[in-house]
Amino acid sequence: CRTWSKNQSIPEMMDAVYNAETDHEEIKIVSEEQAIKFVWISSEGVTVEKEYSFSPDSYLIGLNLTIKNRSDRPLVDHLVVSIEKKFPEEASRYGFIGPSALINNKMEQIKIKKLKDKDTFEGKINWIALQDRYFLGSVIPEKMDDARVRILQHEGGLLESRLITEMKNINPGQAKRFVFDIYFGPKSMKVLKGMNNGLDKAVNFGMFDILAKPCLWLMNFLYGFIPNYGIAIIILTVITKLLLWPLGNKSYRSMGEMKKIQPLMAELREKYKDDKKRMNQELMSLYKVYKINPMGGCLPMVVQIPVFFALYRMLYQAIELRHAPFFLWINDLSAPDRLMHFDFSIPFMEPPYGIPVLTIVMGATMFLQQKLTPSPGDPAQAKMMMFMPIIFTVIFINFSSGLVLYWLINNILSIAQQHYIQKKMA
């Protein structure tokens, strides 16, 4: 965290070396708050004091910055406070990483690739931050109604987020005090919400936020009773499936009805294969006779898609799963599933290389689920669907084991529900 004057009214401040007012080389924060002051005096007599305060039970670091003008001229300038972090050149495909800010009580996630179009934001700044998948670095001003945020992209993937205050005037003999909180810690809803500064809004699951946050709360609630996040994910998936059970029933019943008339549909397709218009008319007549809605199997599934994606985003970003063990070889639910480790590379697999047991079992459940589902009439579509379990297995091979566990349990429950409905209809 760096500070300096924007227009160089204190020209040496940017590269200033501060002296610590302490006799200790290290400070241990055990049971009570500790503070340390750093002081720098310019060649003109301007004194800058930075006092950092640390608490044993908080990730927040207090920063009181005082500028005392002991020169013979007024200081008219903006104060700049900045934080820096390295980011990969390519943005994450699965969740947001990069600079963000709460401006006018609105969350701004600033995409790295769009910095060329806009790199400065103005308004009431609640906080600025740089965040990755699990952690967050943030500067929170005490009060800043008229300020700016500027994001700079340096070489080597280094991003700098600058908080620029409104213009300040410090006359000779006067002093000005600026108060900030600095946060370096986990993107935990529980931790961030307790700070009452809006920093919890940094935990954002995109368009599925309204569904993902209740799922995160429920997962943590379940963990309070069963201290294993793997089991909590399984129970959460079961609860979600039970809530969506009526929609699933409707979908599988419609699929079952479609399966019954598959032979008749095949006959019509063969009979009118050279006349697409007539074939579609006859198929619609067939649906009408058997009172089947051809979209009946799809619409209930479409309604469930937001829930699935909300759980997906939540499980990908939840810091609670970082280094959280499940059982046997799965000792980190945030990491890909690997049984044994190999020295050689495997196609489509990112290091570490090993046997993705959960992912393979998940692919097998998709294959079984496909066997229970009526095959599409279009041969090209049927061929494409045949490869879906393989495609999904390759896609999921580098996903976290927590995500794969959710998808696997959801597939098993879907197979059980589909089998139950088909048996009931037989």
Domain match, 22 and 68 both: yes
In angstroms, the CA 270 to CA 256 distance is 22
Question: Structure tokens of 172?
Answer: 């000779």
Question: Structure tokens of 63?
Answer: 């920063």
β 75-77/79-86 pair status: unpaired
pLDDT of 174 > 80? The answer is yes
Q: How many CB atoms lie within 10 A of CB 68?
A: 18
In angstroms, the CA 165 to CA 77 distance is 9
Report if residue 84 sits inside a domain.
yes
Measured CA to CA in angstroms, residue 368 lies from 371, 377, 388 at distances of 5, 19, 12
Q: Give me the mean pLDDT over the 213-241 stretch.
A: 94
pLDDT of 65 > 90? The answer is yes
Report if residue 234 sits inside a domain.
yes
Q: Where are the alpha helices (DSSP H) in 183-325?
A: 189-193, 209-225, 229-243, 245-260, 262-271, 276-289, 299-317
Read off the pLDDT of residues 88-143 as tens digits, 9 standing for 90 and up: 766 566 678 889 999 998 999 888 888 877 888 888 999 999 999 899 999 999 87
Report if residue 207 sits inside a domain.
no
Report if residue 204 sits inside a domain.
no
β 98-103/106-109 pair status: antiparallel
What's residue 382's pLDDT?
A: 67
Domain match, 392 and 321 both: yes
Domain match, 234 and 154 both: no
Most confident range (mean pLDDT) of 64-73, 290-299, 370-379 is 64-73
Report if residue 346 sits inside a domain.
yes
**CB-neighbour burial class of residue 348 (10 A; exposed 0-12, middle 13-18, buried 19+):** exposed
Across the strands, what pairs with 164? 80, 148
pTM of the model: 0.81
Domain match, 338 and 421 both: yes
What's residue 387's pLDDT?
A: 81
Band of pLDDT at residue 217, cut at 50, 70 and 90: very high
β 175-186/34-41 pair status: unpaired
**CB-neighbour burial class of residue 43 (10 A; exposed 0-12, middle 13-18, buried 19+):** exposed
pLDDT of 276 > 90? The answer is no
Q: Kindly give the interhelix angle for 379-386 and 388-396, rounded to the nearest 10 degrees.
A: 40
Between 6 and 350, the higher pLDDT residue: 350
What's residue 271's pLDDT?
A: 81
Phi and psi for 72 in degrees, rounded to 5? Answer: -105, 15
140: containing domain: 2-189
pLDDT of 182 > 80? The answer is yes
Residue with tokens 């229970």: 372
Domain match, 343 and 417 both: yes
Domain match, 122 and 223 both: no
Domain match, 387 and 293 both: yes
Instruction: Quote the Cα angle for 326-327-329, to 5°.
Output: 110
Task: List b or e across 291-312, with b for residues whose CB sees 16 or more CB atoms inside 10 angstroms.
Answer: ebeeebbeebbeebeebbbbbb
DSSP helix, strand, coil percent of the chain (3-state; round to 5): 40, 25, 35
- Best CA proximity match to 7, nearest among 79, 67, 65: 79
The total of structural domains in the chain comes to 2
pLDDT of 215 > 80? The answer is yes
Report if residue 201 sits inside a domain.
no
In angstroms, the CA 279 to CA 334 distance is 50
CATH number reported for the structural domain that contains residue 16 in this entry: 2.70.98.90
In angstroms, the CA 252 to CA 417 distance is 8
Report if residue 49 sits inside a domain.
yes
What's residue 374's pLDDT?
A: 64
Choice among 87-91, 263-267, 304-308, 367-371 with the minimum mean pLDDT: 87-91
Report if residue 374 sits inside a domain.
yes
What's residue 298's pLDDT?
A: 65
Read off the pLDDT of residues 316-350 as tens digits, 9 standing for 90 and up: 899 999 999 998 889 999 989 998 888 888 888 88
Query: Given 157, 189, 221, which residue is the final one in a domain?
Result: 189
Between 65 and 281, the higher pLDDT residue: 65
Between 145 and 180, the higher pLDDT residue: 180
Query: Given 174, 189, 204, which residue is the final one in a domain?
Result: 189
Domain match, 36 and 178 both: yes
Q: What is the mean pLDDT of the chain?
A: 86
Instruction: Quote the Cα angle for 372-208-350, to 5°.
Output: 70
Domain match, 224 and 353 both: yes
Read off the pLDDT of residues 23-34 as tens digits, 9 standing for 90 and up: 777 778 888 888
pLDDT of 56 > 70? The answer is yes
What's residue 372's pLDDT?
A: 76
pLDDT of 11 > 60? The answer is yes
Q: Give me the mean pLDDT over the 130-157 stretch.
A: 89
Domain match, 173 and 277 both: no
**CB-neighbour burial class of residue 274 (10 A; exposed 0-12, middle 13-18, buried 19+):** exposed
In angstroms, the CA 6 to CA 79 distance is 6
Choice among 14-18, 69-73, 103-107 with the minimum mean pLDDT: 14-18
What's residue 16's pLDDT?
A: 85
Domain match, 181 and 227 both: no
β 125-131/135-141 pair status: antiparallel
Domain match, 173 and 227 both: no
